[in-house]
Copies of this chain bind each other. A is one copy, B any other.
């Protein structure tokens, strides 16, 4: 692959250029705010399709939904990209109770972790509480065998960005069952990866290492977890649980792709993920990213923008439990010898956009930082080095010199909703969603104008 050459903003006619940009970006925002379709599209995805875990009937319906909607906008090309994806189902039984020495019993708010095995009927075990993975790894098989491990790590409230707290707790969900399985525990329950103290359990992905004893894993609400921690200080606690979730054979699924042709075939791609967890409606995660991505392309077409490069919007499948959409997309792009110069992702909710995080060289960060002058009029202020996104990240392996951007979004409330029954359309603010769509369109436009 040819090394991509980045040119900084055209300096010869900087002033008039910036003015043109400013006028065009203002038009993008006017279209998004006055005649925007992102909110209605999100409503339709949430209410007409619903929660859409990979491999489900709803995921298939979401693919049809996306293809039909993209076709309705008359882009140059709309097509499905075939991929293989995992298929896990929650089943119909999901319940747990804790019982203390006094015989007090509490039914827990739980959700199986995505990918968990079934309990094969009602199981029961003494709870052994540890805070985090490091503490669990210090235990021996004698400590843990046949017990139910409770990982109680809570969000660090001091982090300004809640995603940092999420990242710090991620191992208890992703690795808890695996580490406890090595020590022949009976099951794992975790404190939900969540900001508030409430009664919503948060599901999410976990994985089993090849050859390790597969044990069930579930998340309980933060309120339950706080109580269980208190009970454990007072004496022995028994936990009973039943779940009949199951992993099935992989199935065929699709990324949904739309394109607007450019003056050359270099590609600027962007997207969000079309799949969600199987609870709630996947409104913030990541219906919002889907709505942003489709709306950005609709606006650019509506404004009759003629891009320099090929613009490609991708509705990725299977971000939540396998990332086969993102991985396959990158591999296929490489096999086809496509030239990817930029990728942008929205997967942090439908809240207020605040800027863009840039995964790239210092020069690329500086390039994006230039846009601050234009975008601060639209209350986008934060342009700094950071992570692009899970779906676009696999492209880096094949296109190490490309620029990747993750739309930065107010994170304060995200982990109130993330992966819960509460992630529904009603919790997305219309204007904040529209501003996200406009921010994405503006950044696509600026990258298209300024990347060679």
Contact = CB atoms under 8 A, between A and B. Distances in A.
Nearest to A196: B430
A392 interface: no
A161 to B, nearest CB: 8
A337 interface: no
A381 B158 CA distance: 19
Interface in A187-236: 195-196
A32 to B, nearest CB: 9
A160 interface: yes
A34 B157 contact: yes
Contact of A29 (B158, B416, B431, B435): B158
A378 B160 contact: yes
A352 B195 CA distance: 15
A253 to B, nearest CB: 35
Given A196-B430, A352-B352, A381-B382, A158 B412 contact: no
Contacts of A116: none
Copies in the complex: 2
A33 B432 contact: no
A76 interface: no
B382 A382 contact: no
Contacts of A381: 354, 381-382
A412 B352 contact: yes
Interface string A59-80: 0000000000000000000000
Contact of A34 (B158, B195, B378, B416): B158
A33 B431 contact: no
Contacts of A413: 429, 431-432
A249 interface: no
Interface in A22-77: 29-30, 33-34
A143 interface: no
A410 interface: yes
Interface string A352-394: 1010000000000000000000001111011000000000000
B429 A157 contact: no
Contacts of A161: 379
B431 A162 contact: yes
A80 to B, nearest CB: 35
Nearest to A416: B429
Given A33-B157, A412-B429, 10 more contacts: A29-B158, A29-B160, A157-B431, A160-B435, A162-B431, A352-B410, A410-B410, A412-B432, A413-B432, A416-B429
Interface of A: 29-30, 33-34, 157-158, 160-162, 195-196, 352, 354, 376-379, 381-382, 410, 412-413, 416, 429-432, 435
21 contacts: A33-B157, A34-B157, A157-B431, A160-B377, A160-B435, A162-B431, A196-B430, A352-B352, A352-B410, A352-B412, A354-B379, A354-B381, A381-B381, A381-B382, A410-B410, A412-B429, A412-B431, A412-B435, A413-B429, A413-B431, A413-B432
Going nearest first, the 3 A-B pairs with the smallest beta carbon separation are: A381-B381, A33-B157, A412-B431
